[in-house]
Amino acid sequence: MLSIKKILLVVVMMLTITPLFIDASYVSTGRDTQENPDTISDIPAANYDVAGYAKLTENDNFIFYWQEDRDVLVIHDKRNGYTWKTGLDIDPTYTKAEQSSLCKDLKRQYNNDQITYEEFESGCAVPVDTITGTTSGPLMANSLLYFEYFSKGASDSVYQNNTVYSSYLKSTLYKVTSTLQMLNGDENTYRFTVYAQNLGVDKDLDLNIIVDMTLSEDGFVLNLRNEDLSGTALPYLSSIGLATFLGAVGGIDAVFYTTPKVDTVLGDYDYTEVQRDMVDGYSFVPDGSGALIRFLDNSVSLSKYNAYVYGSDPSQSIQSYRSWAGTYVPFKTASIPVYGMAHGNDQAAYVAYATSGDPYMYIISTPEENIYHYNYTHAKFNYNFLFDKLYTLDGDNPVSSISDTLNVFDIEMHYDFLSGSKETSDYPANYVGMALKYKDYLLEHGMLNEMTSALEDIGIRLDFLMADSESSIVGYVTQVSTTSDQVDYILGDILSMGISNISSGLIGWQKDGVTLGNPSKAEFTSAIGTKRNYEDLIAKYLDLGIDISLYQDYYNINDQQINLYRVAAKHPAGWYTRILTYEDPVSVFYYARPVASVQWLNKQSETFLDMGARSITVDGITTKLITDYTGDVTYRSDAIALYQDAFNRLDDDFVVNLTKPNLYLFPYTDRYLQINMYSTQYLIETDTVPFLQLLLQNTMELYAIYSNFSFYTDSDVLRMIDYNVYPSFVLTYQPSFVLADTNSAEYYTTEYGLYKDLIQSVYERVNGALSNVINAQWENREVVELGVIRNSYSNGVEILINYTDVDKTVDSTVIPAMSYVVLGGE
């Protein structure tokens, strides 16, 4: 007879044995033999020419050289004959002061008739880049890599941030040696080792960084594995920057000139500072929809573009655990880890993107009016950061500290070079080419999937704001602006106008409304709509081909809607990270831990599935990333993995609507909501371009920001057509002042009755253009003249858009003012 004990024993044995059979991947241990280590070999001295360049390899498109003294990789593009360098490649010892003393010497010789004027002039009248007059300028300009680290002396109260460049060092502040060696005998792979010594206040720390470089027909790839960082300075490592001056343009030369002897006046020399002629071109940064920073000689000092990819991290980017909301529109997020530079007009360009390490990446574009006088754009990766450590209960007198643990990640940066125009290349040397190149990379690697639509009309997004709560004499009272029956009425009305390809999100569907509804539950109230009401509504419209989803923000939370314990993310200072606003009735907001967000998403999605919903709308976690310091730290890359896993599970059951998703959620996005139509408008940004839209077109449906709020004029409609984006509106049945005392007071105009006609007119205008290019690939965007755009598609259709207020003629086609024309197609 089986006793309990025996059964338990069998079970335990089964459990212990089973893993041995289940384990599929091979894990090597000390009893096995490992793979061979990488073979490193020096580049033979004979390979270096007189100027110090060694040819590394040559392929169909490029010849690669390496400048050993200055650590500059030279890329000669055979397709257009243009040469790119990862650094400025200047001799840092050749300074204005040196030239000046040489000139002085030559002048003396000339005035003593020891040399001729020609000899004097040829030796002295030479331009010198004034960047050499600065201590770190030429180092930074040449270096393939630089790193920053924190140091603090015993008597210092704050940490200093010090920068060390990999390139040749001319001062003795610290020592850096860097070498490039071939890897495994493969002339396409190299290892760049940087060893820095004498770091720190006591000059007793060191750091070793290894970067692997792979050369290919596209360009080159830099790999920096986390395990390849070592040294006693490692805990203080703040960030590592790569290829700072790749494609940099600008420079001010001290142009020396001589004057000959005349009568009694002796020969002399002097210099003037002359701005070097700048190559026409621009940097591209992924600010909002995309922005170009043309190379200009700015006469005022403007701040640089400095964005943390996927948005700032409330835990690492802000020293204090709390921040205040401002009176300005939040800056647009860099949602894709890509940037680029173009030189000339469709001649030469490169696009740089991170395929690993992207959650920790800064994209920095520095304009010309800085101390070095160059326009340069590069990427930097964040390892450690400063934060205010708190020792008192009231949060006062914080102590600035750095984190005990670094962000752990590998860096992989691709630099692909483009050449030629649309006629000669699939990837022209401009931002369109950059977008198409990056898009192909993402498609190849499954980050994007091409979609096909069976419908003949474009979609329209109609979100409904259902309810929110305001203060009452005791607690809160919910103000309902739309009920589920009213949603039914409005959708029915719109259907009757002939608009059928509709998708809807219900905001504030839960009991207590948008702000106080609990994201971890699904509670209904008959005042807004019972569970049954919603089920009937969803089912009814599913039959009509309209999907209705319930919207939820799983990131921004407050203590009135849910108990924060174990659910709100903590700042490294140990307190809940929060933001203080001037809103009413809830003014303080916290951020949900990624683990909690994902739990809620799973739970609510099960309920939605039960209710018959085949669509889900998510906000908050789609566009924000936070490092959570509750217990075991959840880093940004961990958060990304959690989110990807959660959405992966939803992908099969739902049509996924995401608000402003970052790159890592693109594989799961069916509809991209509230896509940025503008950039942040930094003053250095000279153009706004639809890079994001070019990237995503035909892989998911793109919906614009709500037209209700200053986005409904003719030029806004044209912008939607130009950017291949569909219209969206947020509606209520009641007038919006019903919500005037709630947190939703910012939805200041939403009443359906007022928007009925506008919805129809905006939809018809945009549909009139974009219905012709459903399922077609957006191939090119051209500025025919200022204010006139031509978009070309793979099905032969061209859409010409005229933003100006006069009629324009393009190739004998007249485009009326503030209007568009569709040409060609099947």
Partner 1 sequence: MALIAIITFFSFLPVGVYASSSTTYTYALDDNKHYVRTQDAYLPGQTITDLALDKPSDIAIDQNNHLVIADMGNARVIVYDPVSGAITLEITDPQMLGPTGIYVCMEDSVYVSIGDIYVADPTAGYVFHFDSAGNLLEQFGKPTSVMYESLDFQPERVAVDKAGIMYIVSKGTSDGIIQLSNTGEFQGFFASNQVHLTWFEKLQQLVYTDAQLENLGINFTPPVFTSVYIDSTGIVYSSSSGQAVENIKKHNTQGTNMIADMFVSSSKLSDIFVDKQGIIYTSDQGGFIDVYTNDGEFIYTFGTINDVSVAGFFKTLSAIAVDDNGQIWTVDSGNNYLQSFMPTDYANTIYSAIINYNNTNYEEAIRLWQEVLRLNQLSILAHNGIAKNYLQIEEYSLAAEHFKIAGNRDLYSEAFWEIRNIWLQNNLITIIELLAIFGVVAIALKLVNRKYHVLAPVQSFGKKISNIKLINDVMYMSQVAKKPGDSFYYLRRHRKGSYLGGVLILILTFFSYLLFVAGKGFIFQYTAIKDLDLNSIILGFVVLIGLFIICSYLVTSIQDGEGTMGEIFLGFAYSMYPFIIACIASTLISYVSTNNEVFLLNTIFYVGLFYTAALIFISISEIQNYTVGQTIKSILLTILFVIVILLVLSFIQMTIKQVFQFLEEFIKEAIRNVIN
Residues from 331 through 360 that contact partner 1 (CB under 8 A): 331, 333
Please state the closest distance from residue 400 (CB atom) to partner 1, in A. 9
150 scored as a contact of partner 1 (CB under 8 A): no
Return the residue of 87, 311, 529, 690 that touches partner 1, per CB under 8 A. Answer: 311
Please state the closest distance from residue 476 (CB atom) to partner 1, in A. 9
Please state the closest distance from residue 629 (CB atom) to partner 1, in A. 16
Of residues 364-393, which lie at the interface with partner 1 (CB under 8 A)?
385-386, 393
Residues in contact with 817: Cβ distance below 8 Å, sequence separation at least 6, in sequence order: 802, 804, 805, 806, 807, 808
Query: x/- contact string, 698-727, with partner 1 (CB under 8 A)?
Result: -------xx-xxxx-x--x-----------
Tokens for 604, please give them: 């609510």
Please state the closest distance from residue 392 (CB atom) to partner 1, in A. 10
Contact 668, 645 (CB under 8 A): no
Q: Which residue has tokens 């009694």?
A: 264
Classify the phi-psi angles of 513: left when phi > 0, otherwise alpha if psi is within -120 to 50, otherwise beta. left
Is the bond preceding residue 585 a cis peptide, omega within 30 degrees?
yes
Tell me, rounded to whole angstroms, the distance of Cα 84 from its chain centroid: 24
160 scored as a contact of partner 1 (CB under 8 A): no
619 scored as a contact of partner 1 (CB under 8 A): yes
Cβ proximity to partner 1, 215 vs 336, nearer residue:
336
Is the bond preceding residue 727 a cis peptide, omega within 30 degrees?
no
786 scored as a contact of partner 1 (CB under 8 A): no
The H or E element spanning position 601 is helix 594-610
Q: Which residue has tokens 């614009």?
A: 704
Rg of the chain on CA atoms, in Å: 31
- What DSSP assignment string belongs to 777-793? -EEEEEEEETTEEEEEE
* C-alpha span between 203 and 149 (Å, rounded): 13
Count the Cβ atoms, other than its own, within 10 Å of residue 22: 7
Cβ proximity to partner 1, 211 vs 573, nearer residue:
573
* C-alpha span between 94 and 129 (Å, rounded): 9
* C-alpha span between 58 and 625 (Å, rounded): 41
Q: Which stretch binds partner 1 (CB under 8 A): 10-18, 39-47, 259-267, 620-628?
A: 620-628
745 scored as a contact of partner 1 (CB under 8 A): yes
Tokens for 358, please give them: 């992207």
Q: Which stretch binds partner 1 (CB under 8 A): 40-48, 272-280, 312-320, 404-412?
A: 312-320
Cβ proximity to partner 1, 275 vs 710, nearer residue:
710
229-230/205-215 β-pairing:
antiparallel
Both ends of the chain: CA-CA distance in Å?
80
Helical H segments across 398-504, by residue range: 431-444, 484-496
* C-alpha span between 350 and 218 (Å, rounded): 10
Q: Which stretch binds partner 1 (CB under 8 A): 47-55, 241-249, 580-588, 816-824?
A: 580-588
Please state the closest distance from residue 91 (CB atom) to partner 1, in A. 33
Q: Which stretch binds partner 1 (CB under 8 A): 140-148, 593-601, 662-670, 738-746?
A: 738-746
Of residues 665-704, which lie at the interface with partner 1 (CB under 8 A)?
674, 677-678, 680-684
Cβ proximity to partner 1, 1 vs 474, nearer residue:
474
Return the residue of 178, 312, 335, 430 that touches partner 1, per CB under 8 A. Answer: 312
State the sign of the Cα–Cα–Cα–Cα dihedral 196, 366, 694, 638. Answer: positive
Of residues 8-67, which lie at the interface with partner 1 (CB under 8 A)?
none
* C-alpha span between 224 and 144 (Å, rounded): 13
Cβ proximity to partner 1, 236 vs 308, nearer residue:
308
733 scored as a contact of partner 1 (CB under 8 A): no
Q: Which stretch binds partner 1 (CB under 8 A): 73-81, 134-142, 439-447, 742-750?
A: 742-750
Helical H segments across 726-770, by residue range: 752-770
Contact 140, 245 (CB under 8 A): yes
Q: Which residue has tokens 């991290």?
A: 313
Cβ proximity to partner 1, 66 vs 711, nearer residue:
711
Q: Which stretch binds partner 1 (CB under 8 A): 4-12, 108-116, 489-497, 576-584?
A: 576-584
Return the residue of 581, 760, 771, 804 that touches partner 1, per CB under 8 A. Answer: 581
The torsion defined by the Cα of 427, 428, 430 and 435, in degrees rounded to 10, comes to -20
Contact 508, 731 (CB under 8 A): no
Contact 434, 780 (CB under 8 A): no
299 scored as a contact of partner 1 (CB under 8 A): yes
Of residues 534-573, which lie at the interface with partner 1 (CB under 8 A)?
553, 556
Return the residue of 7, 97, 274, 325 that touches partner 1, per CB under 8 A. Answer: 325
The H or E element spanning position 696 is helix 691-696
Please state the closest distance from residue 632 (CB atom) to partner 1, in A. 15
Return the residue of 92, 241, 314, 505 that touches partner 1, per CB under 8 A. Answer: 314
Q: Which stretch binds partner 1 (CB under 8 A): 52-60, 74-82, 561-569, 617-625?
A: 617-625
Please state the closest distance from residue 533 (CB atom) to partner 1, in A. 26
Cβ proximity to partner 1, 99 vs 510, nearer residue:
510
Return the residue of 740, 788, 821, 822 that touches partner 1, per CB under 8 A. Answer: 740
Q: Which stretch binds partner 1 (CB under 8 A): 21-29, 304-312, 417-425, 443-451?
A: 304-312
Of residues 459-518, which lie at the interface with partner 1 (CB under 8 A)?
470-474, 477
Of residues 752-771, which lie at the interface with partner 1 (CB under 8 A)?
754
Return the residue of 38, 485, 645, 746 that touches partner 1, per CB under 8 A. Answer: 746
Return the residue of 344, 398, 735, 787 that touches partner 1, per CB under 8 A. Answer: 735
Tokens for 510, please give them: 């839960």
Contact 204, 232 (CB under 8 A): yes
Of residues 588-607, which lie at the interface with partner 1 (CB under 8 A)?
589, 591
Amino acid identity of residue 511, one-letter, is K
Return the residue of 83, 100, 111, 306 that touches partner 1, per CB under 8 A. Answer: 306
